[in-house]
Amino acid sequence: MKCSKCGKENADGNWVCGGCGESLAPSPQPYQPYENDYSENELLPKSSQAPEKSGSSSAIVKIVACLLVAILAAILTWNFFLKGTDTNTPSGTMEAYINAVSNDDCEAMYDLIPADQIPANRSQATSTCSQMMGLLNIDFTDYKTLGETIDGDTATVDFQVTIEAAGQSVPLESSMSLIREGGKWKVEPESQ
């Protein structure tokens, strides 16, 4: 290898010139960026810059939005399905009763009628009731309270509901009597 300073020829593998002591290592080349290494407005090559945020803030917003929707859905589910309707009012009790009938939930129906009307063998009556409700296949939709009259421990609820059975929808307006028992309103069904 020829020394770039004094021109002396040196054996391959030498790092220093035997004539002048100059380093024989190749001189570093100045950095020459590739054509697309940086944009017009950037001073540093892309490899020296901090990585771009590739939608991480929008992903966080989406995650937070999904969590909020899930929390809202859980609250609504608790209020309307798990917690049940407010049986401290005649209208709320009537709506809970209609929902129980529509869902073939005989246990819930028995919870919403006076104690003296619950059959002695409740488990057998519940089983029979569930079988009958399954055969009838009746759904109540579009329940709406039209009015409520309270007189001491008795009440009447006027309501409108659509009965869905055998592919037919029949709107119905009716009234139901309720009594207060143990601080809760109970539906007095016309026949058990």
Q: Is there a domain that residue 141 lies in?
A: yes
Whether this model's pTM surpasses 0.75: no
Is 139 domain-assigned? yes
Domain that holds residue 110: 89-187
Q: What is the mean pLDDT of the chain?
A: 75
Beta bridge partners of 80: none
How many domains does the chain contain in total?
Answer: 1
Domain presence at residue 3 = no
Q: How confident is the model at residue 83 (pLDDT cuts 50, 70, 90)?
A: very low
Residues 6+ apart with CB under 8 A from 112: 87, 93, 96, 97, 100, 186, 187
Average pLDDT, stretch 48-65?
Answer: 63
43 falls within a domain: no
> In this structure, how many other beta carbons lie within 10 angstroms of the beta carbon of residue 33?
11
Spatial distance between the Cα atoms of 41 and 153, rounded to a whole number of angstroms: 81
Residue 122 belongs to some domain of the structure: yes
Q: pLDDT tens digits, residue range 5-17?
A: 888 888 877 778 8
pLDDT beyond 80 at 39: no
Residue 77 lies in a domain: no
Asked if residue 73 belongs to a domain, the reply is: no
Name which of 37-41, 93-97, 107-111, 160-164 the model is least confident about: 37-41
Q: What average pLDDT score do residues 35-59 get?
A: 55
State the pLDDT at residue 172. 87
Position 182 in a domain: yes
Kindly state the tokens that stand for 160.
């409108």
CATH number at residue 143: 3.10.450.100
